[in-house]
A and B are shown apart, each in its own frame.
Chain A
Amino acid sequence: MGMSRHVLCLAAALAVGLLTPASAEKVFRQANDLSFGGAESLDPLSSNRFIEVVALIYSRLMREGESGEASPELATSWTANAEATEWTLTLQPGVKFHDGSDFDAADVAYSLSRIEDPALESPVASVLGIIDRVEVVDPLTVKIILEAPHAGLPLLLLDYRVRMIPDGSGPTINENPVGTGPFRVEKVDAEGTTTLVANDGYWEGRPKLDKIQFTAIPDAEARNQAMLAGQLDYNLLTAEQAPLYANNPAFQVQSFPGGQWVGAVFRTNAEPFTDPRVRRALRIAVDRNAMLTLLEGTDGGAVGCDTPVKVSDPYRANLECPQDIEGAKALLAEAGYPDGIDIELFTSDVSPGMVRFAEVYQAQVAPAGIRVKVNLAPSDGYWDDVWLKEPAFVTAWDGRPADQFLNEIFRTGAGNNESFYSDPAFDALLDKARSTVDVEAARALYVQAQQMQFDDGGTSIPFLKNSRRVLNGKVTGILPKPEEFIRWHLVDLTE
């Protein structure tokens, strides 16, 4: 009797188990565009970093706050000395790596000092090369000593590649990726499927998803088709693809300010662009709003006055610059071109929208007497043979923090100073901004620097593009903000 009851109970339990599916594993599916052709590295400092995975398994010291400012992640607070040459960071206690070891100040010192390891040739060295050394004060305190004052160090530490790994693990980090992030690696196969599993011990709470998969789909249209077929939960979109997903409850389309831009560069050291009046005329003749709508559609981005600084960046200058055909004509006449001016603008389809940018620019500035000859250069070799070489060319950039951008493309002698802009007063302004600890005071200086670029710079940046993504309708917890704002442990799939 007793036995038969046991059997009965077992049978009932089995039946229940068979009838109700065990609570299904929540697997979030993404595509890997295989941009490094299978040579993807899990070393965050590698120039081949597998960034989608790196961002999930390793944490940063700071992350972007609501308005782009540095807010706590593994560092809970930070202070600088009066000269902004020494920064002291306090770390989050009780954080463990995926292998169970404790995260502490030695790991921070190691992860930061690795940036300047010449053997790594990390692209991050150009951003954080100003770090002289990192000292461990106690297990939860580090001191970063800079070679030169920099009040914006926390913003630089937001760099998506500056992530914390265990002390001494650099040489093996690609094979044995251990971090403090919300997910840990189960299987890496860049050319096939890479699988991450939830880190149960994540310090901000266990992720709601069980797994995240990255399937290699190098072709953009194939990714789009996989998304349409319901084989992906997340994908990036172009403005043209967005209508495919509109008004379909199976998908959510998000559009949010990004940092990418396409612009025209008029080299300040090449005739006739040596005259600042000519450069200004070439920039103020543009109808920025119309150009934005033509190239990116409505809801396609944010217009600006030739500043590369993101809308979400606390240091962005928000100036007004409506199209000014008469003003452009007057400036050209003053500069000795009363009958208008002929210029040749090089472009190529090397990056999306660059050819159409030139076509729209050509049409918009024509009423001001600016006759643009568009020269279509081969995309192969464009960055080697045309960019920086021809007097006027179309360029394309991804977003960067304000200080990095302004120093990288406008400072005298900088390698990527594509307009060859050179003004000691401008450089001094950037130096002063770097050594100004007060955020508002620093902001005023960065804004002034952007105003200088609008007044006499050689780079036309009519707008910054929005980024677009599409999500499966079941996805929750992803706000319409850039990737770096996604809190992956809060992302969920709901029925």
Chain B
Amino acid sequence: MIGAPILRAVLSKPSGAIGVTLVVGHVMLAVLSPLVLPHDPIAQSADLILQMPSLSYPFGTDRLGRDILSRVMLGGRAAMLIATLATLVAMVWGTVVGLLLALIGGRIDTYMMRIVDALSSIPGILIVMIFVAALGVGAAALIPILGYSYGLSVVYIARAAALDFVARDFVLAAQARGEARSTILIREILPNVRDTLAVQGAMQWSWLMLGITSLSFLGLGVAPPTPDWGLMIADARGVMPTAPWAVLWPMAMLSTLIVGVNLAADAFAKALGVDQQLRTVAA
């Protein structure tokens, strides 16, 4: 899908290289960390409360005497998994609806898009919070709710990207051949908007990471004792003046991941030549 020339183009730019390095580093850490943990991430110790960074605890310890290094190594895993699954949900339904509306056009397209406009006017995090607060659902149930809420913006991107192609000759020819809509979508339009959607998917993923971490920060996401960056920040913010390291490390981990994904997605968008298209849609 992504050929060597594209990858070379991405890595040749400093921002692209940094972004890809950060993302690959984070993914490797998330996958491999259980094998190399220096300490038990949930073992509490009254003797080790809020220890400064030291040789045996390089990132220090938290309010319950737990090793912060071990906790930040694991702290992104739950959110990354939820973000990945929710991104899939968002991309699938957003793409299907967006492409269909572009192809159908006319009044149905106009009316449906106004409904999407109305739904988009409600901030995504608010919708998720209402669901979570009302239903008291766990982390697993977040996936469809987040997928729905973040998928709304995918509808715009997919529809706008597809509109470029629906009036082109090859689509008209396929219609003239009497091919089914689903066939036209999958065989004629989707291959042309694939790159745009892939980049959009990466951006969606980083927003979802932020969203899920915010929910955990608010106590609506991942539940203890699972180490989680959002929970760690929420718990340590009260001791920021006296033990800044406790809040600093999870923040650094989250920021490097989000910045990395955005840099990498930007670089890929440029290399694939879809950056202009994404910008037009966003504006």
Residue ranges of A at the interface with B (Cβ–Cβ < 8 Å): 238, 240-241, 243-244, 290, 293-294, 297, 348-349, 352, 355-356, 358-360, 362-363, 373-381
Contacts and interface: CB of A to CB of B under 8 A. Distances in A.
A240 B238 contact: yes
B46 interface: yes
Contact of B42 (A352, A363, A376, A381): A363
Q: Chain A interface mostly helix, strand, loop or mixed?
A: mixed
B234 A349 contact: yes
A248 to B, nearest CB: 13
Contacts of B136: 375, 377-378
A363 B44 contact: yes
B159 interface: no
Interface in B238-253: 238-239, 241-242
B242 to A, nearest CB: 5
B65 interface: yes
A100 to B, nearest CB: 49
Given A363-B225, A375-B223, A356 B133 contact: no
Interface string B198-236: 000000000000000000001110011100000000110
Given A240-B242, A363-B225, A377-B219, 17 more contacts: A238-B238, A240-B238, A240-B239, A241-B242, A244-B241, A294-B44, A294-B46, A294-B49, A352-B238, A355-B219, A356-B63, A359-B225, A360-B44, A363-B44, A373-B223, A375-B223, A376-B220
Contacts of B24: none
A240 B223 CA distance: 23
B31 interface: no
A28 B177 CA distance: 90
A381 B63 CA distance: 27
B64 A355 contact: no
Contacts of B241: 241, 244
A243 B235 contact: no
Nearest to A386: B136
Contact of B133 (A363, A373, A378): A378
B234 A362 contact: no
A362 B10 CA distance: 47
Nearest to A380: B133
A238 B224 CA distance: 23
A381 B133 contact: yes
A379 B219 contact: yes
B132 interface: yes
Contact of A362 (B133, B218, B224): B224
9 contacts: A238-B238, A241-B241, A294-B49, A349-B234, A359-B224, A362-B225, A374-B224, A376-B219, A379-B219
Given A374-B223, A381-B133, A244 B64 contact: no
B161 to A, nearest CB: 38
B46 A358 contact: no
Contact of B220 (A241, A355, A374, A378): A378
A358 B224 contact: yes
Contacts of A348: 219
Contacts of A355: 219, 224, 235
Nearest to B45: A294
A359 B43 CA distance: 11
A363 B239 CA distance: 22
Contacts of A380: 133
A264 to B, nearest CB: 14
Contacts of B133: 378, 380-381
A186 to B, nearest CB: 35
Contacts of A360: 44, 64
A356 B64 contact: yes
Contacts of A294: 44, 46, 49, 63-65
Contact of B49 (A241, A244, A297, A359): A297
A380 B129 CA distance: 11
Nearest to A382: B219
B225 A293 contact: no
> Which of A356, A360, A376, A379 has the most CB atoms of chain B within a 10 A radius of its CB?
A376
